[in-house]
Structures are given as structure tokens and as C-alpha cells.
Amino acid sequence: MYHWEGVNEFVAVAETESFTRAAKRLGVSTAQVSRQVSALEARLATRLFYRTTRRVSVTEAGQIFYQHCRQVLDALEQAERSITNMQLVPRGRLRLTAPVTYGEKSIAPLVNDFVLRYPELDVDIKLTNQTLDLVAEGYDLAVRMGKLEDSSLMARRLASRTLYVCASPDYLATHGTPHSLSELANHNCLLGNLDYWRFPRWDYRSLTVMQPQSLA
């Protein structure tokens, strides 16, 4: 297992050629820098610096070790900058899914504006009324209609909607107008991706749901 202790202190001393200046750069005490470098030398079983009362210089082994440590630190800094830049300017690929009608009307225009604002972001949107498995199919975001099932995924309500039961005048003239929910079982009802309709019904005690058994 590789140890990171002492590397930052070693690099700072190598670049400043001073334990005191290295301590100021790192914002720690000179004693702390000295202890970390000494522990690092003990762990490596080699001397990294020549120390005198006037100056500090890097040994041959220290030069080799410094070159490798500097590359590691530079790579780490670059990695941190890459993540920071991603947060400042969205880039990469974003996969999302939404219901067909709502997606075409409300989501797609927003996605179009979003892509124009952030051209480095590639958005893949799939419009479907099927409930997809976001994790298994690799989706980052989903817009869902109705009541959500229990899930560990984060969710936020975007808007509310109202459903209406409608019929054409010709249909009512032919089949008659239903006056109760139970009569719907005898009518020709259009269904979506569910094989039933839900109706909140107030029975003076609680809010219940009416689910007709047969809707053709």
C-alpha cells in the first residue's frame, strides 16, 4: 500500500530549498515539515536532502523521487481542474426519458434550449410511456407521470395535472350518458398504458379509489 504522508512537504522543500519557506507555503509549522520529511526518508530508507546550517539541497535519490512526485501532483491538480471545469461548464452525455406527449410538448423544447446554451453537452432523450429501469438502462434522469413507487432515487415534483373524462356527442347519443362510475364498465373506454381508470370518490369518511373491473 502506498503512503502519501510527507510527499507534499518533500516537494515543497525541494522546490523552495528551505524547510522554513516550505512551511510557509503549506501553512504549517517548520517542525511539522521536518517531521514529515524525516518520516518519509525513514520509510524509503534513503536520504532525500543534504542539510547544513546554511542551505538544503536535494540528493541524487531525492531528485529522482522529486520528478516522480511532481508528475503525480501535476496529474492530481489536472484531475481536480477537470472536475471543477465540468461543474462550471456542463459537458459529456446526458441520457433522459420522458412520457411521449408531455415530453414533446414540455421537455423537448427545454432540452433544445439547454443544448444551445451548453453546446459541449450531448443530450440523448427517449420519449416513451413505458417505465424504464434507469439504473439498468443507464439513464441519468427521468420524467414520470402519476404516483411514484418507493425508490431510493431522488425525485422532485415538476407540475400538477388534471384528468378529464370526455365523450363525443355522437358517442353519448348512441350509447347514452353514464351517471355513475359503475356504469363505465358497460361503455367503450379508451385506455393508455394502464388497463384501468382511477377516480377519487368521497364517501364522507375517506378518499377512496374506484377501479372498474372491465373497461373495453
Nearest alpha carbon to residue 139 among 86, 94, 91: 94
pLDDT in tens, 110-121: 988 888 888 888
| Average pLDDT of adjacent 10-residue blocks, the chain of 216 residues | 82 94 93 94 93 89 94 90 74 88 89 87 89 87 79 80 84 88 82 72 46 40
Contact 59, 47 (CB under 8 A): yes
pLDDT in tens, 10-27: 999 999 999 999 999 999
Please give the Cα distance from 34 to 31 (Å, whole number).
5
pLDDT value of position 29:
94
pLDDT value of position 135:
84
pLDDT value of position 211:
44
Contact 188, 215 (CB under 8 A): no
Domains within the chain, CATH numbers bracketed: 7-87 (1.10.10.10), 89-161 (3.40.190.10), 169-210 (no CATH)
Please give the Cα distance from 73 to 76 (Å, whole number).
5
pLDDT value of position 115:
87
| pTM score | 0.45
Largest CA distance in the chain: 107
